[in-house]
Structure 1
Amino acid sequence: MRVGENLNQALHGLLGDDPDVYVLGEDLLDPYGGAFKITRGLSTHFPDRVLTTPLSEGAIVGAASGLALAGEKAIVEIMFGDFAALAFDQIVNFAAKSVSMYGRRVPMPLIIRCPSGGNRGYGPTHSQNLQKHFIGVPGLSLFEMSPFHDNRAVLDRMLALEEPCLLFEDKVLYTHRMYDVDELFTWDLIEDVAVVRFDGDLDYAVIAPGGVAHRAIAAMRTLLLSHDLAGAVLVPSRLYPFDPAGLLPLLGRAGLICVAEDGSAGGTWGGHIAADLHARLWGSLRRPVRLVSSADSVIPTAAHLERDVVLQDSTICRAVLEALDG
């Protein structure tokens, strides 16, 4: 099953099992089924709870927040994650604050889905990863879709938190197969973090969100076959808050820890993780935690120029080799 199909099935199952769940967004209704067809079939089976909306991300998130505040459960699709910026006020100043600003904790089961990322030729305003702009907001959790995490389990986990959650979905992942790992490697879950690795000593470990997972695994293959370096790729489902405690024994054995992410550098999730690991593993770190990200640039539309800006497996390879040689 492909990741997009898995997400579509998850939404069908959630709506079928819970009559309090609503889905809102632009162009969701059949036969279109959303820009990436993730909501295909939903409006046919649940016509009263799949609501197509006007072209206003602020209004969509505001209406969904009202549903959640009134006791329902709301899932919003932002057509392109870039446009979450148009709903920033509703997310940060209303939804996230509503959990705790009324003198008692108020349930706010709200999921905002954000198709994100480049490598599709969509250009500067349809290819970004805006995760870093939502890091550290009280009452707001961030998740990222992964080929190693069943989307129904992830959606259930987010709704169970009873607080607003952002789910970033790398658009390229929609066509990737679930649980597809190079035959050189094995994978397992450690406290809901997927760990893909080559058996043996760890020369390095790469921590990467779901959208970067396949690029990190491709880099791991190159590093193994061309440079005889064995590594591991760690893929969390929940980006923030993120507790790495269960991973510390593994990370403590790695010759290098590298955090790879798709956005540009500066005030990022990767920077937050690196600072946390630096403090927790100070006694065993052999090298500084290495950060690798996309270039400090808008994202071009032309494929060859886009590749120069957006994080690639070669970017991760180069960062690991430079850090181990330093």
Structure 2
Amino acid sequence: MSTPSAQRMDWTVWGTDAVLTVTDSAQLTAARGILDSSLLEVERAASRFRPDSELSLLTGRASGGVAVSPLLARLVDAALRVAERTRGSVDPTLGNRLAQLGYDRDLAEVRARADFSVSAHPLPPHGEQWRRVRLDGTTLTVPDDLALDLGATAKAVAADHAAALISRELGCGVLVGLGGDIATAGPGPDGPWQIDVCDVPGDPAQQVSLSPGWAIATSSTQRRRWTAAGRPMHHILDPRSGLPAPETWRSVTVVADSCLNANAVSTAAIVRGPRAIEWINSLGYAARLVSRAGRVHAIGGWPRAARTVEEAGHVR
């Protein structure tokens, strides 16, 4: 994610790579301050790994409905809308499942501890548990047997919001990348943003041009991995089984008008496995799917190098 006229900063946040690029080099420090503040607000509202986060404090205590902050309400609303749009392929009620499989803290800590034991008994069917969650304005109702995990959608919302906020306050073009979630806002750097698409070293790589104001998201079965009961795990669960989704795809990358929409489709595609290509085509999105064997499937007018999204095809 680079361009000759832009200034870029890289660091680590939430256990993943963060990237900030602005078109006005004089605004980089101020932009970093805005981004840090915005991400801290999201973490305090919705982190599953902070015992003092708003989400952690209400878990198991919201069956009768509780008043939540506008920010947490917005994050839950986004997660429920994504669940609806993906017909439950992306389910925000899998917090207990992830904890049962060992992902109950920052991934670095999960990997550092001894192999985690998992019950030999099969997990009961999960079903569409997200439909049991209710949000009425800022009143949230969550049954006590469920725990919300807003990880994927909250990160995408955070990227969208921070990019828009920085551009609006500083008057420059901006790119915010949080792991595989990349959002842009404002004018581009003398043309489209140049995005390097490659999930992990050794995977097929490609550079694409992303028009200003658009977003791109990559969901992967390769990065957030750990071992539980001697079995390799990854963080994208199939809500039907409550287990990591079959690894039909190493990664799925999607271009959309927001990072939230791109992430929703890329994550759901991992869960849907072989059915993902037909589903994405029916939605009209541009996407790049890398199979377990490393074969690239480009669909929906996926942009080739040095082509803009508009030149490659319409993205809804």
Say whether the fold is shared (TM-score over 0.5): no
TM-score for the superposition, normalised by structure 2? 0.29
Q: Which has the higher contact order (CA 8 A, sep 6+)?
A: 2
Identify, as 1 or 2, the structure richer in helix: 1
TM-score for the superposition, normalised by structure 1? 0.29
